[in-house]
Amino acid sequence: MNKLIKPLDLLLIALLLLGGTGFWFYAKHSTAHAAAVIYIDGEVYQSISLEKVEEPYELPLPCSPRATLLVEKGAVSFKEAECSDKVCVNTGKLTKRGDTAACLPAKVVVTIENGEKQLDAMVY
């Protein structure tokens, strides 16, 4: 047997690795907190962890026509927009997984991902 690494050392290393991997696996697969994901023209612009927001703040978006989001603890919404129909602003607050608001003229989609899954989808 190799004198440098004894079998016991090997076992200890293996157990540590196993423990580490098990912890990583658990952390990855436990329900992550709700995140507001902002897409502009199909690309992710920003992802905000809504649980971590302390004070509400406004987030102007680099889109045209212009739109500004209101980001709060646990919720995101369109505060104002320069588009003509204001469907985005009228959607109201997004709080749970799957909630979505979009400003089509500005090509902006805001959707809540992760968090507790309540519904697979809404039909409307």
Partner 1 sequence: MKNKVITAAAVLCATVLVAIIAFDFFMSASFSSSFIAMNTTVSADIKGLKAEEAYREISEELKWLDSFLLSRTSEESQIYKLNNGKTDIDPEPAKLLSSIKDIEEKSNFSFCVGLGQLTDLWGIGTGSARLPRADEISSAIKDAEKWQISGNTVDLPDGVKLDLGAAGKGIGCDYASDILQKYKCKSAVVAVGGSVLLHSTDKDEVFTIGIRNPKGDINEPAAIIEIKACCVSTSGTYERFFEQDGKRYHHIFDPSTGYPAKSGLQSVTVISSSGLVSDALSTACLVLGFEESLPLLKEFDAQAVFITDENKVMTTPDFEGLKIADSNFTLVN
Give the 3-state secondary structure of residue 74: coil
> For residue 21, what are its two tokens?
């991997």
The residue to which tokens 């104002």 are assigned:
80
Q: Are the C-beta atoms of residues 46 and 71 closer than 8 Å to each other?
A: no
The β-bridge partners of 39 are: 44, 109
> For residue 98, what are its two tokens?
């799957």
- # residues contacting partner 1 (CB under 8 A): 41
- Please identify, among the stretches 14-22, 46-54, 59-67, 68-76, the one whose residues bind partner 1 according to the rule CB under 8 A: 14-22
Q: Does 18 bind partner 1 (CB under 8 A)?
A: yes
Q: Which of 103, 22, 120, 92 is nearest to 67 (CA)?
A: 103
Q: Does 21 bind partner 1 (CB under 8 A)?
A: yes
Residues 33-92 that bind partner 1 (CB under 8 A): 39, 42, 44, 84-85, 91-92
> Which residues lie near partner 1 (CB under 8 A)?
1, 6-8, 10-11, 13-15, 17-18, 21-22, 25, 28-29, 39, 42, 44, 84-85, 91-92, 94, 96, 98-100, 102, 104, 107, 109, 111, 113, 118-124
